[in-house]
Amino acid sequence: MTDDAIKTAESIEELDQSELAHSIIEALLDHTRVVSDLIALMAQALDQDTTKALIQTPQWQAYLESRRRMETTRAEVEQFVEISRRPPED
């Protein structure tokens, strides 16, 4: 195998790995969005007193913080994909 063929094979492998990583991350983000929507729907079904009690718990606050972080994660994933698709520098 020539050096060029080896570099091409390595580039394809790196691309496959980055595509796989992107696919995995995208699936996790999508799942998180679906779960978040479900939680919001369930919260709407609660009566006002139960909702007030729920939103004062540390678990609810952690959920809100996690949701805020996930909003920026999608942009970070896109940045990761863009960087990983760049041809390797020699």
| Residue 81, in any domain of the structure | yes
User: In a 3-state reduction of DSSP, which class is residue 57?
Assistant: coil
| Residue 90, in any domain of the structure | no
Q: How many domains does the chain have?
A: 1
Q: Is the pTM of this model over 0.85?
A: no
- In this structure, are residues 81 and 22 in contact, taking their beta carbons and an 8 Å threshold? yes
Tens-digit pLDDT profile for residues 53-89: 988 999 999 988 988 888 888 788 788 878 877 776 7
Tens-digit pLDDT profile for residues 17-66: 778 888 888 888 889 889 989 988 988 899 999 989 988 999 999 988 98
| Residue 30, in any domain of the structure | yes
| Residue 77, in any domain of the structure | yes
| Residue 21, in any domain of the structure | yes
**End-to-end Cα distance, the chain:** 19
| Residue 68, in any domain of the structure | yes
| Residue 36, in any domain of the structure | yes
| Domain coverage including residue 66 | 3-85
- In this structure, are residues 74 and 29 in contact, taking their beta carbons and an 8 Å threshold? yes
| Residue 57, in any domain of the structure | yes
What percent of the chain lies above the pLDDT cut of 90? 22
DSSP-derived letter for residue 86 is S
